[in-house]
Structure 1
Amino acid sequence: MAWPLPTHPFRPRLRTVWREARWSDVGAGLTVGVVALPLAMAFAMASGLAPAAGLVTAIVAGVLISLLGGSNVQIGGPAGAFIVVVYGIVERHGLPGLWVATLMAGGLLFLMGWFRLGALVRHVPVAIVIGFTNGIAVLIALSQVRDFLGLQVPGKMPADLFAQLATLARHAGSWNPAALGLGLGCVALLALWPRLFGERTLLPSEFARSNAARSVSRLPGPVVALVMLTALATALHLPVETLGTRFGSIPHALPSPAWPAIGWESAKPLIIPALTLALLGAIESLLCARVADKLAPELPRHDPNQELMAQGLANMASPLMGGMPATGTIARTVTNIRAGARTPVAGVVHALTVLAVMLVAAPLALHVPLAVLAGILVFVAWNRGEWHEFARLRHFTVQYRTVLVGTFVLTVVFDLTVAVEIGLVLACAFFIVRMSQLFRVSPSSRHLPEGVQGFELMGSLFFGSVVKVEALAAAIAPDTQTVVLDLHRLVQLDTSGLEALRELHQALQRRGVALVLADVNEQALSLMRRAGFAAELGEANFLPKMMGSPV
C-alpha cells in the first residue's frame, strides 16, 4: 500500500554539484573554518557548556549539513540564536537533558522536511522574526556582561532575566579593569577592521594599496582580535580568566559516540524545549539559506525541505558526540560566499579545518581570555539585531508594532517559546480582524425587477466575518420575494460562512422569500455541493451571472 502523505525525496545538493567544485571552494572552506573556531567556542561558553561542545558541533553538524543539505553554500554549526534556549535547558535539565532535547528536535526537523513543511516555516510573520531576533541579541549581550567586565561571580549565572540583573548588580564592585580593556579592545578592533581596508580606508593610501595590505585584509576580524589580544594578555601577564583557568583543558580528538542515559519520564518535560529548538533551528536555517540565495543569485536556489532534513540529521548526530544544537549560520555563510564558495565542498572543508585546528592547536586555545570571547559575542549580538526596525515602527500599523514589540519583550523577559507562541497568536488574531474588516456586504448597484432585492458580497466569508451575513436577514424589505446574492467578488468561503448562508436561507424560507446565488466561484461552489447546501437550495437558484442591468 502506498504511503498516504506526500513526502520529499532525499536528494542532497552535493550529489548533483560536486563535479563543479573548484579550488575556490577549498580556500573559502579554510577561511570559514578559521572564522568558525572562536565563534564555536564562544557560543558554547555563552550557552553554559564547555568550549569543546561548540567545536564538536562545528565539526560533526557542520560536515553533515554540507554533505546532506539543500543549499550550495550554507554553513551549519552552533549559532547565537540557541544560546538563551540552551542555557535554560542545561540549567533545568542538565547536559543529558540538552542532548535528549537536541535529539528530539533533530527528529522533528527531519520530519518537517520529509513532509514538505519547509515552505510553511518560511511564512512565519516577519514581525515575529524581527522581535525574537532582537530579543535574542539583547540576551546574548547580557549573558556576556560577566566575562566582559571580569566580574567575580561564583558558580553559574542564573537563566532568568531579573535574577541575572540582580546577580550582576550584586557583584558589580568586583569588575576587572584588564578584562574590561580586553573586551573593549576586541569590540573596537572588530568594528574597525573592515574599515581599515575599505574604500574609505583609515590607513595611509600608499600602504592600503600595497600587496601586504591586501594580504592582511583577507584575515577574518575575529581571528585577528583573538590572536592579537591573547598574545597581548599573555605577554603582559594580565590577571584575567582564560579558557584554561575555567575549563581546564580542550580535547585533542573527537569523543566517541554515546547515547544519553535518560528515560521516558525524564524526557517528557523536554518536549516543549525540543519544539523550541526545532522551530528556531528551522527558521534560522531557512532564513540563512534565503540570504545566501540573494547574495549568490547565479547559483541554484536552496531546497528548503532537503535543508530541514539535513539539519535534522545533524542535530541527531551532534548530541551523540557531546555537541549542542546546530543550524544555518548567517555570518559564516556570508563569509563563505564572499570567499568564493560555489558548492557544499566549502562547508565540508570548513568542518575539517576546525577539526585540524582542534587536533593540533588545542593547548594554545587555553590561553584565550574569556573577555576577548565575550567581546566577540557582544559584537555578534550587535550585528545580529535589526535595531533600525525599532526606528521604523512609526511607519507601520498598530498590529505590526504590537506583534514586534510584544515578541521582543516576551523573548527578553520570559523565553523564546512564550514569545513565539504569543506572537503567532497575536499575528493570527490581527489577521482575522483585518480580514473580517475587509469583508463587505453592500446593496447591489444593478436595476432589479420589482420584488427582488440584491446584495454583493466582497472578500472572504469565514468565521471572522459571518456576523455581517447574519445581520442581512434584518435588512430585507417586507415586500421582497427574492433575494439575490452576487458572489463574483467572494474570494473564499469556509464552513462557518457556509453555515451563515444556510441560516440566512432558512430565515428567508420562513418568510416565503427565495434565495438566489449568482456567479459563484469554483471553491465556494465545490464546498456548497460537498456540504449538501447546493441540493438544499436547488440548482435552479444558482445563476451564472448577476441579473439586472448595471446602473
Structure 2
Amino acid sequence: MSLLQATRQLLPGAADYAPLRQSWKNDLTAGLTVGIVALPLALAFGVSSGAGPAAGLVTAIVAGIVAAVFGGSNVQVSGPTGAMVVVLAPVIATHGLQSLALVTIMAGIIVLAAGALKLGRAVGYIPWPVIEGFTLGIAAIIFLQQVPAAFGVPAGESTNAAMAAFQSLQATDPATLVWPVVLVLVVAAIMVFAPRLHPQLPGSIIGIITATVIAGIADLPVTRIGELPGALPAPSMPFVDPALAATLLGPALTIAALAAIESLLSARVAASISDTGPYDADRELVGQGLASVAAGFFGGMPATGAIARTAVNIRAGAQTRAAAVVHGLVLLGVVYLATGPVSQIPLAALSGVLMVTACRMVSLATLRSVLGSTRADTITFFVTAVITVSFDLILAVEIGIAVAAFFALRSLAKASGVHREELPGQSEDGDEQIALFRLDGALFFGAAERMLERVSAIRNVQVVIIRMSQLQILDATGAKVVAELVTALERRGITVLIKGLQERHLKLARQVGVLESLRHHRHLFAELDDAVEHARSHVRRARQVANDGGEARS
C-alpha cells in the first residue's frame, strides 16, 4: 500500500455520510438526545478535574465535533470522561491551570502519531478481566472524587482519591453538611427513577434542574458553578516553556495511553451493539488525537470516546457521525444561549450526577461473569482494580496485563507436555533399548525446563526418538533446550532421532543449533515409521558389534 493510500484511509470521506439521506431524522434526534445527556457530564467532569466547567463544556463541543468528523467510528461520541479526570486532576493540582492546554496538545499529538503509525489494534491485546478491573477502579475513583462537593467541604490534600475523600470527611461540618447531601440525594433519586417512568427521560438533566430550582427558591447555602463564558473562546497557541514541557512529558504519555485505550474500547463496544458497520482503529486514534489538539487550542481538556454517551447515541437511533456533530452543536447553543441558568447549578448536583454515573459504570452482570470465571481471571480483575484506585491508572493496566500473561503462560505450560509412547506396530527384540517421546502443545521458556528434566532422566536405552509433529509453539528457549538435550544424550552415547520438525520451526531450529547437535543429518525424519526402523537398525548394529567383540575374545 502506498503512503498516499494509507493517508487517505485515515481521513474523512463521502462514504462516512452515505446513509445520511435516509437517516438524517434519526441522527438529528440522537444528537439532540445525547447533547442533553452530555451537558451535565461535561460540566461535572470539568469541575472535578480542576479545569473548571467551561473547560469541560469547550471540550465536549470542540473535541466532540472534531472526533466525529475525523474518527474511525460512525456512532462514537467523544468529550471529557471520568477516566481522563482521574489522571488530569493531579496534573492540574501539581502544575497549575496553565499546564492544561500544553499537556492536552502534547497528549493529542502522541495519540495522533500512534494512529499514523498503525498502532490502533494494540488494544485488542488487553485481556477482558484487565478492562473490567480498570473500569471498576475508575468508577471507584470518580465516586470518591465527588465526596468533597457532595458534603460541601474542601477537597483533601492527598492526590490519592481515597485518601483525599477520607481527609474531606474528617473536615466535615455538620452545619454545612445537610443541604449538599440533600441535593445529591435528590439528583440521584431522579436519575434512578426517571428512566423507569419512561426510557427516554433524561434523568440527569431533570435532576439538575430540580436541584437548581430547590437551591434557588430556598436560597440554600451551597456552592454554584459560577459565571461561564457567553461565547466559545478564540483559539490560541499556549506558551511553550521547555522546562514545563519536559516535566509534562510523562503525564502526557499517560494521558495519551489512557485516551487511546478508552477510545478504542468504546469504539469496539459501539461496533458490537450497533449495525452501523465496523470501526477503523487507526483512524479513531487520528481523530481522537486531533480532537485533543483542537480542544487544547480552545482551552479545553484531553478528550476520549465516551462509552455512556456513545451508548445513548446508539439507543437514540444514530446511524452516522452526523449525530455526534449535532451533539456538539447542541452544546454550542448552550454556550451562547443558556450560560446564565447553567451558572446557578449547585456543584453538589453535579456530584450527584457523577456518583450515579460511577455506579452505573459497574455492571453487576459483568461482576458475576468475572467472579464466576477462572481463579486467574478473578485475581487479574481485583489486582487491576486495586492498583487503579491505590496507585496509577496506566501502571494498573500494565500490571494487570502482566498478571494475565503470567496465568496464561502457566496454563499454556500445564497444557504442554512430554509423553513417553510405545513404539508403533508389533514389538521386536531390542525395542526396550528405544525410547519414544512425544512433545505436545508449546515448548517455550515456561515449559522447556520440564521437558529437559523428563527426557534427560532416561536410562538404559541406546536410541531416543523425539516426536515434534504435535508441537504447536516453539520459541528460541525451547529450541535451545532441545539442542542442549540432544548434545547431552549424544555425549552419553545415546543416539537421538528427531521426527516431524515442522517447516515453520525449521529455521529457528537451524539457527539455535538443533540440527547441528544431531550426530548425522539423516537423523531428522518426516515419518515415524522411518525413524523407528532407523532406531532398530542402530540397536541391531550395536548388538552385532557386541556379539562380534564377544566372539573375538573367546
Q: TM-score, normalised by structure 2?
A: 0.88
**Structure 1: distance between partners of 2:517 and 2:7:** 42
Q: Is the 8 A contact 1:462 1:495 kept in 2?
A: yes
Shift of 1:536: 5.3
Structure number with larger C-alpha Rg? 2
Give the structure 1 partner of residue 247 of structure 2. Answer: 269
- Residue 527, structure 1, aligned to residue 512, structure 2: no
Per-residue CA distance 1:332-389 (angstroms, 9 max, x = gap): 1111112221001111111111111111111221111111111111110010123455
The structure showing larger relative contact order (alpha-carbon pairs under 8 Å, at least 6 residues apart) is 1
Shift of 1:251: 1.0
Q: Is the 8 A contact 1:38 1:222 kept in 2?
A: yes
Secondary structure of 1:463's match? Answer: coil
Secondary structure of 1:318's match? Answer: helix
Secondary structure of 1:243's match? Answer: coil
**Structure 1: distance between partners of 2:521 and 2:234:** 71
Per-residue CA distance 1:154-208 (angstroms, 9 max, x = gap): x77542232431232222535432222111010000000110126xxxxxxxxxx
**Structure 1: distance between partners of 2:314 and 2:374:** 36
Give the structure 1 partner of residue 19 of structure 2. Answer: 20
| 2:36 maps to which of 34, 54, 71 | 34
473 and 456 in structure 1: CA distance in 2 versus 1, 3 angstrom threshold: closer
291 and 421 in structure 1: CA distance in 2 versus 1, 3 angstrom threshold: closer
233-242 or 183-192, which deviates more:
233-242
**Structure 2: distance between partners of 1:8 and 1:546:** 52
- Residue 503, structure 1, aligned to residue 484, structure 2: yes
Higher helix share goes to which structure? 2
Give the structure 2 partner of residue 184 of structure 1. Answer: 185
Matches within 5 A, 1:99-118: 99-118=101-120
Shift of 1:470: 2.2
Give the structure 2 partner of residue 10 of structure 1. Answer: 9
Give the structure 1 partner of residue 545 of structure 2. Answer: none
Q: TM-score, normalised by structure 1?
A: 0.88
**Structure 2: distance between partners of 1:280 and 1:409:** 17
**Structure 2: distance between partners of 1:90 and 1:413:** 19
Give the structure 2 partner of residue 485 of structure 1. Answer: 466
Q: Is the 8 A contact 1:14 1:344 kept in 2?
A: no
- Residue 452, structure 1, aligned to residue 423, structure 2: no
354 and 77 in structure 1: CA distance in 2 versus 1, 3 angstrom threshold: same
**Structure 2: distance between partners of 1:327 and 1:514:** 62
Counterpart of 1:288, as a letter, is S
**Structure 2: distance between partners of 1:265 and 1:533:** 54
Shift of 1:76: 0.7
Q: Indicate the percent of aligned positions where both proteins have the same amino acid.
A: 37
Counterpart of 1:141, as a letter, is F
Give the structure 2 partner of residue 427 of structure 1. Answer: 404
Shift of 1:524: 1.3
Secondary structure of 2:318's match? Answer: coil
Give the structure 1 partner of residue 315 of structure 2. Answer: 338
**Structure 2: distance between partners of 1:519 and 1:474:** 20
Counterpart of 1:386, as a letter, is S
Shift of 1:7: 6.2
Give the structure 2 partner of residue 128 of structure 1. Answer: 130
Q: CA RMSD in A?
A: 2.4
Q: Is the 8 A contact 1:459 1:490 kept in 2?
A: yes
Structure 1 gap segments, 5+ residues each = 199-217
Give the structure 2 partner of residue 257 of structure 1. Answer: 235
Give the structure 1 partner of residue 59 of structure 2. Answer: 57
Give the structure 2 partner of residue 164 of structure 1. Answer: 165
Aligned residue pairs total 520
Shift of 1:539: 4.5
**Structure 2: distance between partners of 1:387 and 1:278:** 29
Shift of 1:444: 2.1
Shift of 1:238: 2.1
323 and 466 in structure 1: CA distance in 2 versus 1, 3 angstrom threshold: same
517 and 269 in structure 1: CA distance in 2 versus 1, 3 angstrom threshold: farther
Q: Is the 8 A contact 2:225 2:347 kept in 1?
A: yes
Shift of 1:267: 2.7
Shift of 1:23: 2.3
**Structure 2: distance between partners of 1:78 and 1:338:** 20
Structure 2 gap segments, 5+ residues each = 534-554
442-451 or 369-378, which deviates more:
442-451
| 2:74 maps to which of 72, 75, 81 | 72
| 1:243 maps to which of 215, 225, 242 | 225
Per-residue CA distance 1:85-132 (angstroms, 9 max, x = gap): 111111122234343333232222223222322222122111111112
Counterpart of 2:504, as a letter, is Q
- Residue 88, structure 1, aligned to residue 100, structure 2: no
**Structure 1: distance between partners of 2:236 and 2:156:** 26
Q: Is the 8 A contact 1:118 1:304 kept in 2?
A: yes
Q: Is the 8 A contact 1:441 1:458 kept in 2?
A: yes
494 and 96 in structure 1: CA distance in 2 versus 1, 3 angstrom threshold: farther
**Structure 2: distance between partners of 1:231 and 1:391:** 40
